[in-house]
Structure 1
Amino acid sequence: MTDKHALIQPDRGQKSIPIHLVSKDSFADWAKGLTNAQRAALEGQKFTGGGYEVGIVPDGENWFAVGGVANPASLSSWCLAKLAETLPAGTYALAQGDPGKALLGWQTAQYRFTRYRQDSEQTGPRILLTQDAKGIDAALAEAAAIGKVRDLVNTPAEDMGPADLEAAAEALAKEHRADCHVVRGDVLQRDYPMVHAVGRAASRHHAPRLIELIWGDPKAPRVAIVGKGVSFDSGGLDIKPASAMLLMKKDMGGAAHALALAGLIMGAALNVRLHLLVPTVENAIAGNAFRPGDVLRSRQGLTVEIGNTDAEGRLILADALTRASEEKPDLIIDFATLTGAARVALGPDLPALFARRDETADAVITAGRAHDDEVWRLPLHDAYAEWLKSDIADTNNNHTNGFAGASVAGLFLDKFVGDGIDWIHFDTYAWRPVAKPGRPKGGEALGLRAVWHMLQARYG
């Protein structure tokens, strides 16, 4: 997988610029092998070997680079990202060792979202050579999945509505020879009534729909992936303040994660029967918008009193989770930008993980730590389910006491997952508010790679 967008390529002896890696502790000893002029050059750049520091060292008529990392013998995914962001355009190779996991950060560091403007800051490409051919394929596949999430989330709602998510799913299906089916209109109202109710106030151009993609051996274990696809969330009649709407183009971040994960699964030909479901709507305001106090009937048959129209994501997920459960899958995974409570609890970097089975949660957590995509488990505490009681319906979609919002949302979803099914739910931010090396500000994949590596271990 080395096309024109591949910034990591096989080392076949091409001319390259060496990169030396040092730590703060090892820098002094390493620098003893330099000339006085070279040491002075690094001193002038204030290079000390600290993490993400980058230095350029003259070497006769040429030069080499030096990068600061925590441990040159054990690189993280992001160790080389600052080098990839700041070095001049060219071809590079490590002077010692292999990049390993750091291949990913080299590729993702050079991501740019340029749909609406020219990139005035791009000075690349910067290509890294490696002898790890297998590592190249894995890193490029994961970087492409991350890029897909970023592209979808960064695109404004007018250009990333339900129809555009449908187009993305159809393109994915065509690429991997999968079957794609879309439910709209009267059939949606009949079969997925909560998806229809949430999205019915949007314009015809952004009409609600349920996207399904099926791929893989029918005899293989069935894995269902569900992604919340709210293309824009005004809050509905319980309207958000203007400041809270600024990032609501990212409320389809769960769908972006689901599409990207499906692409990884199909691209690797993982031994599963994949069932992808994306309920997608715009939570708009119009005369036919659903209201606080309305009672909606779900696909499962449960009735839901609407305590808040801004708790809409869980409604569309509920119908999709019901559909996924009908096929009795081995595992259901859902991604959603569901609650502000998860961000209050864990901040922007850590997606909240909810799971029915400890062993499944542990596998995801272990995979995330091993591949620098950490997640944090929060509880599905049964005692909180009573907060969703309704006086007139089977359940309310919202609770009013302000406690444990992410857990209560997870408990609502749990009502719509079939009994005994292994299920994990991600309440992810899908956004990076402050840039880090390899991880620019904007749309971001959080929890995606943790799940992907768990799935590879489970079904590979």
Structure 2
Amino acid sequence: MFDHIIPTTTTADAQTALTIHAVTPAGFGKWLESQSDIHKSWIEANRFEGKRGTSLLLPSNDGKAASVVLGFENDAKSVWDFAALVSALPKGTYQFDATVTSDDELCERAMLGLYLGGYRFDRYRKIDAPQASFVRPANKAADRAENTARGIALTRDLINVPANDMGPVELAAAAQTLADEFSATITTIVGDDLETQNYPSIYAVGKGSDRAPRLIDMHWGDENAPRVTLVGKGVCFDTGGYDLKPASNMLLMKKDMGGAAQVLGLARMIMAAQLPVRLRVLIPAVENMVSGNAFRPSDIINTRKGVTVEVGNTDAEGRLVLSDALTEAASEDPEILLDFATLTGAARVALGLGLPALFSNNDDLANALQNTGIEMGDPMWRLPLWDDYRPMLESKIADTNNISSGPFGGAIIAALFLDRFAKGAKAWAHIDLMAWNPAGTPGRPEGGEAQGIRAAFKVISDRYGK
């Protein structure tokens, strides 16, 4: 399983573990007053002030390590304060004090920080594991943290694998492995069968590669339970097609299946938590390549919905493959339909790399996702499905174009294109995300990243898990 590398905790004997005292900056002064003269002097000598994400090893009378003090803020971002511990502490075994373990929400954030702080992608080169190990509290908060961390690690791993080892076949194999772990059922429609089974848009985009396109379709849970459907863009590499990307823009295109990675990570969380839902995961897995069989600008392609699309730009391929998957997803009238996609540079221009754009046809779902995301430190920000822009997708010879007639509002235009194919879902949300950390910070190393799935899991769990 891809997430095998995340656990950093151990059930070592708590009697020998060094205690981690977690202290907020506001409470640092009072905590310091209760410390021994030796610790006060040591803290002063090291100019430690209890700032968030900073830690200090405290000595015993004989000069050996006695305990640790960590500065943290008791807010959504405290996950990353705790993540910093993993690489900061020397070899040894550590455990949190009651400040953390007695607070269910804080304990979950702390343990999630430790798990993510220990994440490393070592498939292609040896990376030394963190030296510190941590006692895992025997509570549900730690269980929840591990479940979340495994979903995030799966997402990160899938994105980090380069396209030569993560094509449509390998992405389908990763989905099959996940399905096997949780006794889900999975079917895959491959190559020419996509055309015969009426997934013409997926086929049109993927047929230019010698690695056949496919639609991955996974089902799990009670058929009579509320339907939750996840759709993820699985473009395993995107050259831009005949509208070829410049070399600099192609360097990160192994991450263009980041949407697929998100939904597999989220699906893992849902299945491991045994949420009482009928889960469906749909992933159109393709490569957008240049070849004699590749689709071209000005081609007109059909879609599963019967809507004809004029190809204004072959580099706007993600919305094309999603159109067929969303049409199939919406046909079951799910209670919640979420799609994740590394879809537009325009969303990154508008909101930056760390804030996915959220679009929805349902205010309750949109508000829940945005508010929960902000509360949890897994943010996304809603942009409008602005009806006045719909005419910008008009084509003179097809039902629609896949791009706008103008240069502005690109993320909204893409969402409006998808909205046409999501009709039928009671509540649909589209998350346009980066799926990548450009620089490493504690718990968030440079590379593939999960964005929005913690928030989505919480919304689904709160709605159906009680």
Q: How far apart in 2 are the matches of 1:75 and 1:335?
A: 23
Gaps of 5+ in 1: none
Which range moves more in the overlay, 33-42 or 94-103? 33-42
User: Does structure 1 residue 84 correspond to structure 2 residue 92?
Assistant: no
Aligned equivalent of 1:300, options 290, 296, 305: 305
Contact 1:11 1:130 in 2 (8 A): no
Residue 241 of structure 2 aligns with an amino acid whose one-letter code is G
Partner residue in 2 for 1:103:
111
- How far apart are 1:345 and its partner, in Å? 1.1
The answer to whether residue 461 in structure 2 is matched with residue 459 in structure 1 is no
The alpha-carbon distance between structure 1 residues 11 and 362, as it changes in their structure 2 partners (threshold 3 A), is: farther
Taking the aligned partners of 1:32 and 1:75, their CA distance within structure 2 comes to 27
Q: 1:350, 1:128 → 2: CA distance?
A: 33
Distance 1:458 1:42, change over 3 A: same
- Supply the AA of the counterpart residue of 2:52: G
- What code does the residue aligned with 1:90 have? G
SS in 1 for 2:329: helix
Tell me which amino acid in the other structure corresponds to 1:230: V
In structure 1, distance between residues paired with 2:118 and 2:96: 18
- In the alignment, which of 390, 406, 412 is matched to residue 401 of structure 1? 406
CA distance in 2, matches of 1:257, 1:232: 16
Summarize deviations over 1:166-212 as a string: whole Å, max 9, x none. Answer: 00111111111111100012211232111111111112xx2110010
- Residue 257 and residue 24 in structure 1: after superposition, are their counterparts in 2 closer, same or farther (change >3 A)? same
Question: Is 1:192 aligned to 2:199, yes or no?
Answer: yes
Give the deviation of 1:391 after TM superposition: 0.7
Report the more deviating stretch, 97-106 or 160-169.
97-106
* Residue 256 of structure 1: how far off its partner (Å): 0.3
Are 1:113 and 2:117 matched, yes or no? no
CA deviation digits over 1:307-354, x for unaligned, max 9? 110000000000000111122222211110001111111111111111
Residue 446 of structure 1 aligns to a residue whose secondary structure is coil
SS at match of 1:409: helix
SS at match of 2:81: coil
Within the candidate set 336, 341, 349, 1:336 is matched to: 341
Aligned to 2:209: 202
1:228 corresponding residue in structure 2: 233
Inter-CA distance 280–74: structure 2 relative to 1 (3 Å threshold) = closer
Q: Is the 8 A contact 1:353 1:377 kept in 2?
A: yes
Compared CA separation, residues 141 and 368, structure 1 to 2 (3 A): same
Matching residue's letter, 1:53: T
Q: 1:138 aligns with which of 139, 144, 151?
A: 144
Q: How does 1:248-327 map to 2 (within 5 A)?
A: 248-327=253-332
2:6 and 2:402 map into 1 onto residues whose CA distance is: 44
CA contact (8 A) 1:236 1:285 kept: yes
SS at match of 1:180: strand
CA RMSD of aligned residues (A): 2.0
Q: Distance in 1 between matches of 2:275 and 2:168?
A: 28
What residue number does 2:73 align with?
Answer: 70
One-letter code of the match for 1:379? P
- 1:362-398 CA-to-partner distances (Å, cap 9, x unmatched) read 1112322332211111111111111100011000000
Q: Does 1:38 align with 2:19?
A: no
1:265 Cα deviation from its structure 2 partner: 1.5
Please identify, of 446-455 and 420-429, the stretch whose mean Cα deviation from structure 2 is larger: 420-429
2:443 paired residue number: 438
Deviation of the 1:32 alpha carbon: 3.5
> In structure 1, what is the Cα distance between the partners aligned to 2:5 and 2:342?
33
- Letter aligned with residue 117 of structure 1: R
**Preserved CA contact (<8 Å) 1:75 1:102:** no
Q: Residue 127 of structure 1 aligns to which amino acid in structure 2? A: F
| Structure 2: distance between partners of 1:11 and 1:372 | 30
Name the aligned partner's letter for residue 24 of structure 1.
P
1:276 Cα deviation from its structure 2 partner: 0.8
Q: Is the 8 A contact 1:433 1:442 kept in 2?
A: yes
Partner SS, residue 48 of structure 1:
coil
Q: Distance in 2 between matches of 1:74 and 1:244?
A: 33
Letter in 2 for 1:214: H
Q: 1:302 to 1:119 in 2, by over 3 A?
A: same
| Distance across 2 between alignment mates of 1:4 and 1:225 | 25
Q: Look up the equivalent residue of 2:85 and give its one-letter code.
A: L
Aligned mates of 2:440, 2:6 — CA distance in 1: 22
- Indicate if the aligned counterparts of 1:184 and 1:210 stay in contact, CA closer than 8 A: yes
Aligned twin of 1:23: 24
TM (norm. structure 1) is: 0.94
SS of the equivalent of 1:275 reads strand
Alpha-carbon distance, 1:45 to partner: 3.5
Return the letter of the residue paired with 2:205. Answer: V
Contact 1:91–1:129 under 8 Å retained in 2: no
* Aligned-residue offset at 1:401: 1.8
User: Which residue in the other structure is 1:178 paired with?
Assistant: 184
- Contact (CA 8 Å) 2:339, 2:430: kept in 1 or not? yes
**SS of the counterpart of 1:219?**
coil
* Paired AA for residue 102 in structure 1: A
1:162 and 2:168 matched: yes
Which residue of 1 is the match for residue 380 of structure 2? 375
Measure, in 2, the Cα distance between the counterparts of 1:420 and 1:456: 19
What is residue 53 of structure 1 aligned with on the other side?
54
TM-score normalised to structure 2 length: 0.93
For 1:10 and 1:377, the matched residues in 2 are separated by: 42
How far 1:100 moved relative to its partner? 3.7
Q: Pick from 426, 430, 451: which aligns with 1:425?
A: 430
CA contact (8 A) 2:20 2:68 kept: yes
C-alpha offsets along residues 6-44 of structure 1, whole Å, 9 cap, x if unaligned? 434669744211112233343344334445543443344
- CA pair 343-37 structure 1, distance change in 2 beyond 3 A: same
How far apart in 2 are the matches of 1:32 and 1:49?
A: 13
Q: Give the AA of the match of 2:325.
A: A
Q: Which amino acid aligns with 2:93?
A: T
